[in-house]
Amino acid sequence: MPSVSTNTTMLNPQTAKPQWIHIDATDLVVGRLAVVVATLLRGKHKPTFTPHTDSGDFVIITNAEKVRFTGRKWEQKSYQTYSRYAGGQKIIPATEMLAKKPEEILFQAVKRMVPRGRLGRAQLSKLKIYAGPTHPHTAQEPTDFKPKF
């Protein structure tokens, strides 16, 4: 009977080679974009994906102010923060969040899709979101990525 070789190599942070990916968020749906970005940050699109290692890529998102929601979410969706003090709860509607901090809409959507804990925070630190069309990461030569949905 032939022996089966289980020669699986696990990726470690020293052998991981992250790339820089640029995504233009103009007219993209927030939830669908967040799924793609979370997959890229975790590294699940690579054949060398290892769940316990930060093997994902750096993701740059521009034009975050031009994202869109489906349905009536601009009127119905709200973002809540709580300072853990009495009376410290703040509820901000999505339209107000878009006017004040458009990057936060995408950041919160992606944050809820990465694992909680030390690894998820490390992966989330590789996400760079900008409201306008320019970004300061041209020296890293990011590759353009167009999500397919």
For residue range 67-96, what is the model confidence (pLDDT) as tens digits? 999 999 999 999 999 999 999 999 999 999
Query: Strand, coil or helix: what is 15?
Result: coil
Question: Based on the structure, what is the number of domains in the chain?
Answer: 1
Residue 43 lies in a domain: yes
Give the whole-angstrom CA distance, residue 61 versus residue 23. Answer: 5
Longest dimension (CA), the chain: 70
Residue 90 lies in a domain: no
For residue range 1-47, what is the model confidence (pLDDT) as tens digits? 556 656 677 788 788 889 999 999 999 999 999 999 999 999 999 98
Give the range of the structural domain holding residue 40, as residue numbers without chain letter. Answer: 20-69+102-144
Task: Kindly report the pTM of this predicted structure.
Answer: 0.89
Residue 31 lies in a domain: yes
| Confidence check: pLDDT of 123 > 90 | yes
Residue 132 lies in a domain: yes
Instruction: For residue 45, give the CATH number of its domain.
Output: 3.90.1180.10
Residue 82 lies in a domain: no
